[in-house]
Structure 1
Amino acid sequence: MLDVADEISRFNAGRDPERLAMKYARMRTSAFVFLRGTCHLFYKRVSKGSLLESSPHAWICGDMHLENFGSYKGDNRLIYFDINDFDEACLAPCLFEMIRLLTSVLVAADDLKLSRAEALALCHIAVDSYAAALRFGKARWIEEETAGGMVAELFAALHQRSRVDHLNRRTELKGKKRTLRVDGKKALPVTDKTREKITAFMGDLAGREPNPAFYEIIDVARRIAGTGSLGVDRYVILVEGKGSPDGNYLLDMKLALPSATAPNVNTLQPRWASEAERVVEIQRRDQVVSQAFLHAVEFEKRPYVLRGLQPSEDRVALENWNGKLPRLESVVRNMAELVAWAHFRSSGRQTSAIADDLIAFGEKSKWQLALIDLATQCEAQVVSDWQAYCKAFDAGAFDLTAKS
């Protein structure tokens, strides 16, 4: 019998204690947050029978859930709504992606104040939309002109927020110079030694870029973001960009660890040059346009993913569905379509299924209701594991202060 507390402790071993303590506390707050923080446990638990494993292979993000979508600026400077986290990305049967998305809908029902009937209705919307997108046979995308409902509202909100607003929320302005706001909520301080190392690293990186002055470092801090990766070595870096103070840019640099999903799928994975190369390459395949400044880099002989920093506000505020189910239906429909479109974009790459196989799978119907049934089983397991976690947490099993 799997010991939930032990499994979680072993998986998170070696992470930054200060940020890891935040992760453990957040996971105590709800089963949905727990789900987001335990991708490794979810895929270890899920029943890997013929339903999942007989589906066509695809390049999946590996940690699909309702919070893994958002707007971002592409390297073409246009804004899109798409899947936005690929830390756990790998090659797997395509339904491994959908089972986690459906489970997240069911587990998030309490947080979103959804009835059981409403949550199940959203699951049917997701499955129907995913299958329809596969049958359509072509990858599409969501930008401002094609967005509707709550996603359109997200794009509208972006118009009301300037780069200066983004900088002002993250930095302090003194005269014409900005410094990062180290508030214990979004950022924590770095040591002088770490600052020196990252400054030297960015200087070296700048020397290999067409516009070296853009990457001139102004400030750096440890970044607090996400749930699953909280505690992983991660930095927010303020650079010169297009000129101080209001042309500065914020970059995110995060250590790339091995996929937590890949060991739980019976699929041979290709050999990547590094874990950062894996994350970046699959993200480039799956997204309609690559995120701005996306790089696989090496810092201190370890692989990191460098990219533009995306504000947490760039996600749809699902809690604002205002009791009108069609508003959530529209978002969930978009999410399921984005999963299918990502699978088409990356089809036929390194043994992933070709488009014809994905289309044929979308035309089948037997898997659809069975997938929702499996999601209800996964939901029950997640809730049970969360309750076991809460009991261990309350007993002090995750008190890092007591252990130090």
Structure 2
Amino acid sequence: MSDIAQLIATFNAGRDPERLAMKYRLMRASPFVFLRGTCHLFYTRLPRNELLDHAPPVWICGDMHLENFGSYKGDNRLVYFDNNDFDEACLAPNLYELVRLLASVLVGAADLKLSRAQALALCQTAVESYGGALAFGKARWIEPETSVGMVRDLFDALASRSRAAHLDRRTVLKGKTRVLKVDGKKALPVSDQARAEVTSFMQTFAAGEPNPDFYRVLDVARRIAGTGSLGVDRYVILVAGKGSPDGNYLIDLKEALPSSVTPHVRTPQPAWQTEAQRVVEIQRRNQAVSQAFLHAVEFNQRSYVLRSLQPSEDRVALADWDGKLPRLEAVINSMAELSAWAHLRSGGRQKSSIADDLIAFGQRRDWQLPLIDLATQCEAQVVADWKAYCDAYDRGAFDLSAKK
């Protein structure tokens, strides 16, 4: 087994084999999907340099890339567009966040059918937008009325989608009762034992909530979503909500694992009680309004994040840029600004930089071109690692059926 294959296999050891096999197959598809599935490897391979180490420490999401932004319903029932993945979140130099975003633009260029010049132009847009938003010094947010371009298109599509239509995509009606659609694409069956354990957990959780019957479990399945976290213990739970059949709600319950970024930063981390507390606390700090039902919980003596289910469809369809670069530039501008606003919003918390330091950093220009250069090095490394992975995959190194 190559070094790359060994690093990937070791990192993913212990995951659910059925969903892990899906992850390995997906990662074979392109360098961009590989990048999304190997956050741990990205930071392992990230060159140490003065630029990164001397950047101001902030609360980063840790797994910044083009696909980790989407719309969601907040705990105030309004809809927002923001970064929505905090599994890898930690305290780190702010440019750790930016270099991964830039690398995702460069690595994703082929999938998006971008020329080299277009990809580099988008990187320039990102660093200028991030710097400008920091220098302005005020954290904003994106909601339907303030969105533009492809993000506005996403909001418009969601506005016309009813709760029933949302449920119909993931459930089937049996009489007047819904059950989850176990199709091997979004969901897999659970064992009777797991179903009973999840149901029992939800009953205990609901007992501490104002309206316990809202969380009455109707069905449970293993959830298939994302790339990086495939194979992590995760469930989709159909609950009674506001009544059957069309007032039901979908809940996501996902195990929280340690951040794969923290071993690669020198920034001291707080002593979190659990990994789920880390994820939830940083998400609450960074987002203007957090996702509905967001909680750090304990299930089966392990740490989990409970939240409303976030459909993968609620992301910008980046491939629909239709050869019009300004459409993509507007999305990249939004993503970079959202990152800056998150860093400003959470500034001063537990050793993160205060707003004055972030404003001063945003006013500087000396980091922008060197960061793009560093991102091109990361891009080359990702592509080389993907090729090594493909060789190992094609030789059967990731054939989980052979290891049973």
TM-score, scaled relative to structure 2: 0.99
Superposition pairs of residues 262-301 of structure 1, within 5 angstroms: 262-301=262-301
Q: Residue in 1 aligned with 2:41? A: 41
In structure 2, how many angstroms separate the alpha carbons of the residues matched to 1:397 and 1:266? 33
1:11-42: CA deviation from partner (whole Å, max 9, x where unpaired): 00000000000000000000000000000000
Secondary structure, aligned partner of 2:81:
strand
In structure 2, how many angstroms separate the alpha carbons of the residues matched to 1:296 and 1:145? 31
Q: Residue in 1 aligned with 2:76? A: 76
Secondary structure, aligned partner of 2:367:
helix
Q: Residue in 2 aligned with 1:183? A: 183
1:335-359: CA deviation from partner (whole Å, max 9, x where unpaired): 0000000000100000000000000
* Amino acid corresponding to residue 325 of structure 1 in structure 2: L
In structure 2, how many angstroms separate the alpha carbons of the residues matched to 1:174 and 1:380? 52
In structure 2, how many angstroms separate the alpha carbons of the residues matched to 1:380 and 1:308? 37
In structure 2, how many angstroms separate the alpha carbons of the residues matched to 1:56 and 1:93? 5
Unaligned runs of 5+ residues in structure 2 are none
* Amino acid corresponding to residue 171 of structure 1 in structure 2: T
TM-fit CA distance, 1:159:
1.2
Secondary structure, aligned partner of 1:366:
coil
Q: Residue in 2 aligned with 1:231? A: 231
TM-fit CA distance, 1:176:
0.8
In structure 1, how many angstroms separate the alpha carbons of the residues matched to 2:131 and 2:257? 32
* Amino acid corresponding to residue 231 of structure 1 in structure 2: G
TM-fit CA distance, 1:47:
1.1
TM-fit CA distance, 1:267:
1.0
Q: Residue in 1 aligned with 2:172? A: 172
Q: Residue in 2 aligned with 1:308? A: 308
Q: Residue in 1 aligned with 2:103? A: 103
In structure 2, how many angstroms separate the alpha carbons of the residues matched to 1:266 and 1:57? 10
In structure 2, how many angstroms separate the alpha carbons of the residues matched to 1:74 and 1:65? 22
Q: Does 1:336 align with 2:336?
A: yes
1:351-374: CA deviation from partner (whole Å, max 9, x where unpaired): 000000000001111111000000
Q: Residue in 1 aligned with 2:222? A: 222
In structure 2, how many angstroms separate the alpha carbons of the residues matched to 1:146 and 1:16? 41
Q: Residue in 2 aligned with 1:212? A: 212
Secondary structure, aligned partner of 1:228:
coil
* Amino acid corresponding to residue 26 of structure 1 in structure 2: L
TM-fit CA distance, 1:53:
1.1
Secondary structure, aligned partner of 1:237:
strand
In structure 2, how many angstroms separate the alpha carbons of the residues matched to 1:163 and 1:312? 16
TM-fit CA distance, 1:48:
1.9
1:242-262: CA deviation from partner (whole Å, max 9, x where unpaired): 001110000000000000111
Q: Residue in 2 aligned with 1:64? A: 64
In structure 1, how many angstroms separate the alpha carbons of the residues matched to 2:126 and 2:239? 40
In structure 1, how many angstroms separate the alpha carbons of the residues matched to 2:166 and 2:117? 39
1:133-188: CA deviation from partner (whole Å, max 9, x where unpaired): 01100100100010000000000000121110010010010111010000000000
In structure 2, how many angstroms separate the alpha carbons of the residues matched to 1:64 and 1:160? 29
Q: Residue in 2 aligned with 1:127? A: 127
* Amino acid corresponding to residue 388 of structure 2 in structure 1: A
Superposition pairs of residues 349-364 of structure 1, within 5 angstroms: 349-364=349-364
Q: Name the Cα RMSD after superposition.
A: 0.9
Q: Taking every aligned residue pair, what percent have the same amino acid on both sides?
A: 72
Q: Residue in 1 aligned with 2:25? A: 25
In structure 2, how many angstroms separate the alpha carbons of the residues matched to 1:338 and 1:47? 26
Moved over 4 A (4+): none
Secondary structure, aligned partner of 2:292:
coil
1:271-327: CA deviation from partner (whole Å, max 9, x where unpaired): 001000000000000001010000000000000000000111100000000000000
TM-fit CA distance, 1:226:
0.4
* Amino acid corresponding to residue 372 of structure 2 in structure 1: I
In structure 2, how many angstroms separate the alpha carbons of the residues matched to 1:137 and 1:193? 51
In structure 1, how many angstroms separate the alpha carbons of the residues matched to 2:288 and 2:400? 41
In structure 2, how many angstroms separate the alpha carbons of the residues matched to 1:74 and 1:196? 29
1:211-244: CA deviation from partner (whole Å, max 9, x where unpaired): 0000000000000000000000000000000001
Q: Residue in 1 aligned with 2:390? A: 390
* Amino acid corresponding to residue 150 of structure 2 in structure 1: M
* Amino acid corresponding to residue 194 of structure 2 in structure 1: T
In structure 2, how many angstroms separate the alpha carbons of the residues matched to 1:399 and 1:198? 30
In structure 1, how many angstroms separate the alpha carbons of the residues matched to 2:354 and 2:366? 21
TM-score, scaled relative to structure 1: 0.99
* Amino acid corresponding to residue 8 of structure 1 in structure 2: I
